[in-house]
Chain A
Amino acid sequence: MTVKDAAPSAHALDKSALLRMYEQMKTIRVFEDRAGKEFASGKVPGFVHLYAGEEAVAVGVCSHLTDDDFITSHHRGHGHCIAKGVSVREMVAELLGREAGACSGKGGSMHIADVNKGMLGANGIVGGGFPLASGAGLTAKYNGKGQVVVCFFGDGAANQGTFHEGLNLAGIWKLPVIFVAENNGYAESTPVTYHMSCRDIADRAAGYNMPGVTVDGLDVFAVYEAAGEAVARARRGEGPSLIECKTYRYYGHFEGDAITYRTKEEEESYRARDAITSLRNSIIKRQVATDAELDAIDAQVQNSIDLAWQYAEAAPYPAPEEALTDVYVKYP
């Protein structure tokens, strides 16, 4: 892996990179819209937390990563999985609890992981990822090959004690970890203006002697540039960074949330700035690709999600006794 000296500018993104971003963001959106629909129909057991609306963050950040880099995620983790390259078929199969799922049906939506892709798991514990990310950062630093770790977390997690402990360790040990806050304005139903003692999560970076920036999380280029700088810094061995992305989730905290705490006007104001539409418009305006090319990507994404659902719905459940396996590598 080469260590980049300077952060890449979004203006330098070529056609294939831009179309890949578009395709990934679209994949997340279509995946989540479908997951929401299927959950409502009763096909998906358990809880589902959808990432639609926040696609620019996962994709803008993960565009800088390879399979050798690690990410930690949280309960709203489908977008991170897709952006990090986890198989969509295996994700759907996992949502449905099938043997072919990413976790053989043992994890479900809140625990999808693929360590071969550096995806260290969605996480059902809010704030669970901070120490884990610092630990992966320790491995990366120990390996000395320029690997980096990204810790995605929500505004709610920023109030957990693990935020402080994870960031402080990354700070004192100069670990190559990028902490990416996805501030979507609400911790469940509780607004960030109430639950957080400061206005911006990025302000807290000063307490750990790391750079902290706040960017428009609906603008994939803004996220891409901020993440590029932080990733380059981490690869150079200069330590951690905190990036706060102000974003918005289109669905509720979980599927089934009546969303009584938000107004229609607020939701519409965010949808009017939709990250995927903005990227699409930018690609057209810059004459990088035509409407027809983008429509073709849309169709291909839709097809791949349809196929993933067909595959997963036809896939068998694990044998009940499989519940007894995988607790230990060896026991006794």
Chain B
Amino acid sequence: MRRDPRVILMGEDVAGGATIDHLADDEAWGGVLGVTKGLVQEFGRNRILDTPITEAGFIGAAVGAAATGLRPMAELMFVDFFGVCWDMIFDQGAKLRYMFGGKANCPLVIRTMIGAGMGAAGQHSGCHYSVFTHMPGIKTVVPSTPADAKGLLAAAIRDDDLVVVFENKMLYGVSGEVPEGEYVLPLGKADIKRQGSDVTIVAISRMVHQALAAAEALAADGISVEIVDPRTLSPLDEETILSSVAKTHRLVIVDEDNPRCGTATDIAALVADKAFTELDAPIKLATAPHTPVPFSPPLEQFYIPSPEHIVATVQQLLG
């Protein structure tokens, strides 16, 4: 935002307390979980826009602003709310450039929270990035570490296409090294989060951490796990996944999204298509079940693929 005055941020309570006299240019919230704290003090309310609770309205307005010269970031508080503004995302924003024959762009970033684990139940806990990844015209970003979040968000803001950044709310408390100063990662480049030789685990977003915990446990049994973090699902770095499979000859995909027509099956199909002869065993998936996210803690924990679930899946694969 410092670099480009055309970048604005809009969303529900991204500052909070708009027009409340005693707040002036201070925020009430800085985002529902405080992610955008401090921005309104630096950039003012002309660039940090509190919106009413009107997702179709402001996501659509962000598309309109993007098509006419601004570079908006719109915050869709929880991804589950895509249901009320989906037309603006996939029928308008995602298709605009194509339908206009490449003569207009939609340089829009939508930031949104995903993930179960907070007891937020069925309408505030889903992942749903598979739905977005399915749609041509949308790029999807799923950072798993603070450094990746910084580098990928910067890339998303500078990108000329519609990019949706999925932030797993369970990762906001994770700390890690973050490069100082300008740090921009390419979209479409996976990262190997752990080197290994016996089995490849492709893990997405928070599942990278679950997979790392599982890998530690498996290492104690002498099993060497390689963890590939795609970091972006569209575009997908097929090459890194395929070369890892060529090295380990076994694949597990760990995904917190629902399993049908999802990212895990998509990656499985990719490997089955392009690296079938490299495989020494069937591809295994460890995903959330085909249910909404339940509320009660034991139910919710059952829903999320756990390190134990991943360990069991790998052991099953290795026979």
Contacts and interface: CB of A to CB of B under 8 A. Distances in A.
Given A115-B103, A166-B57, A328-B161, A136 B64 contact: yes
B101 A162 contact: no
B148 to A, nearest CB: 16
B97 interface: yes
Given A128-B92, A162-B56, A332-B235, A138 B65 contact: yes
A27 B211 CA distance: 65
A327 interface: yes
Q: Among A114, A139, A162, A325, which residue has the most Cβ atoms of chain B within 10 A?
A: A139
Nearest to A162: B56
B64 A133 contact: yes
A135 B70 CA distance: 9
Q: Among A113, A166, A172, A328, which residue has the most Cβ atoms of chain B within 10 A?
A: A328
Nearest to A106: B101
Contacts, number: 162
B8 A142 contact: yes
B195 interface: no
Contacts of A63: none
A45 to B, nearest CB: 15
Contacts of A162: 56-57, 60, 87
A107 interface: yes
A115 B64 contact: no
Contacts of A60: none
B100 A107 contact: yes
A168 B52 CA distance: 9
Given A165-B57, A328-B161, A134 B100 contact: no
B271 interface: no
Contact of B101 (A70, A128, A133, A326): A326
Given A142-B70, A169-B54, A329-B161, A135 B62 contact: yes
Interface magnitude class on chain B: 35 or more
A106 B99 contact: yes
A165 B179 CA distance: 40
A104 interface: yes
Given A135-B63, A136-B65, A142-B70, A168 B54 contact: yes
Contacts of A139: 64-65, 68-70
Contacts of B160: 329-330
Contacts of A114: 103
Interface in B93-142: 96-105, 136-137, 139
Contact of B68 (A120, A131, A326): A120
B114 to A, nearest CB: 22
A165 B293 CA distance: 29
Given A120-B67, A120-B68, A330-B160, A138 B103 contact: no
B293 to A, nearest CB: 26
A95 interface: no
A76 to B, nearest CB: 17
Nearest to B105: A329
Contacts of B87: 125, 128, 162
A331 interface: yes
B86 to A, nearest CB: 11
Given A142-B46, A326-B98, A165 B235 contact: no
B266 interface: no
Interface string B229-244: 0001001010000000
A121 interface: yes
B100 A125 contact: no
Nearest to A120: B67
Interface residues of A, number: 49
A77 interface: no
A72 interface: yes
A31 interface: no
B139 A328 contact: yes
A132 interface: yes
Given A128-B87, A331-B235, A113 B60 contact: no
A255 to B, nearest CB: 20
B301 interface: no
A121 B62 contact: no
Interface in A155-191: 161-162, 165-166, 168-169, 172-173
Given A70-B68, A128-B60, A162-B60, 9 more contacts: A102-B103, A131-B57, A132-B61, A132-B92, A135-B65, A325-B102, A328-B97, A330-B161, A332-B186
Task: List 9 tightest A-B contacts by C-beta distance, closest first.
Answer: A131-B60, A135-B64, A332-B188, A165-B57, A104-B101, A332-B235, A326-B102, A135-B61, A132-B64
Interface of B: 8, 46, 49, 51-52, 54, 56-70, 72, 87-88, 91-92, 96-105, 136-137, 139, 159-161, 186-189, 232, 235, 237
23 contacts: A103-B100, A104-B101, A105-B101, A107-B99, A111-B100, A120-B104, A125-B92, A128-B60, A128-B87, A131-B61, A131-B63, A132-B92, A135-B72, A138-B61, A139-B64, A139-B65, A162-B56, A162-B57, A165-B56, A166-B60, A329-B160, A330-B160, A331-B188
